[in-house]
């Protein structure tokens, strides 16, 4: 990887970078697990105004529950029928479903198709979406838990290449808060978070 000062990676360079998304998936899950281990108040608010820490962790863990089923080629309905409610020990549940998802990603051809709720996409596109989602939620959890908020630099770069081209769609989807106005000279992590409706300042 080229050496640029933090926050100064040229956008054109990011657009042509080839990321190892399997390696990034492992790293994103480690980032989330590290913040999860520092949670002390499960009712604390998060940057996702509709969720407290418990609800945030349940959301991210539940997303991992779907991965093995969908990568096996099941439909949404078939997968839903096999997914069981999460237990109360959310750290154990995260560890269990993170491992299952990680193994499924490693075993599935990246050019295979997978049915999601909104479309049928390649496994690689689903993987990129999941890595980016877990990366953003790692920051949410860090902010809520008072943990280290600095995200892995390559994860930030990779997530930017996924979210930035979709900025208009993100704002219109209702899945994210409105983008936060931030200067173009801000560090890339700050711009990424702002793009997804988070104000890290």
149 and 143 in contact (C-beta within 8 Å)?
Answer: yes
Tell me the CA distances in angstroms from 140 to 32, 35, 44, 86, 199, one per residue in order.
10, 9, 11, 21, 11
Q: Determine how β-strand 113-115 pairs with β-strand 120-122.
A: antiparallel
Q: What is the pLDDT along the chain (201 residues), one digit of tens a residue?
A: 444 444 444 444 455 468 999 999 999 999 999 999 999 999 999 998 899 999 999 999 999 999 999 999 999 999 999 999 999 999 999 999 999 999 999 999 999 999 998 889 999 999 999 999 999 999 999 999 999 999 999 999 999 999 999 888 877 776 777 889 988 999 999 999 999 999 988
Q: Model-level pTM?
A: 0.89
Question: Distance between CA atoms of 65 and 60, rounded to whole angstroms?
Answer: 9
Q: Which CATH number fits domain 20-152: 1.20.120.450, 3.40.50.720, 1.10.150.120, 3.30.390.30?
A: 1.20.120.450
């Amino acid at each position: 990887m080229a050496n640029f000062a933090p926050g100064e990676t040229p956008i054109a360079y990011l657009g042509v970078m080839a990321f190892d998304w399997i390696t990034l998936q492992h790293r994103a899950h480690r980032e989330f697990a590290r913040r999860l281990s520092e949670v002390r108040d499960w009712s604390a608010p998060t940057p996702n105004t509709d969720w407290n820490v418990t609800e945030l962790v349940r959301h991210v863990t539940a997303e991992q529950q779907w991965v093995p089923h969908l990568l096996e080629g099941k439909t949404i309905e078939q997968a839903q029928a096999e997914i069981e409610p999460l237990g109360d020990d959310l750290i154990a549940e995260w560890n269990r479903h993170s491992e299952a998802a990680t193994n499924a990603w490693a075993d599935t051809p990246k050019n295979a198709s997978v049915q999601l709720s909104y479309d049928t996409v390649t496994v690689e596109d689903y993987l990129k979406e999941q890595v980016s989602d877990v990366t953003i939620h790692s920051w949410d959890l860090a902010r809520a838990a008072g943990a280290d908020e600095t995200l892995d630099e390559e994860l930030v770069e990779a997530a930017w290449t996924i979210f930035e081209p979709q900025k208009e769609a993100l704002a219109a989807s209702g899945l994210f808060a409105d983008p936060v106005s931030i200067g173009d000279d801000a560090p890339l992590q700050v711009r990424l978070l702002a793009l997804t409706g988070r104000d890290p300042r």
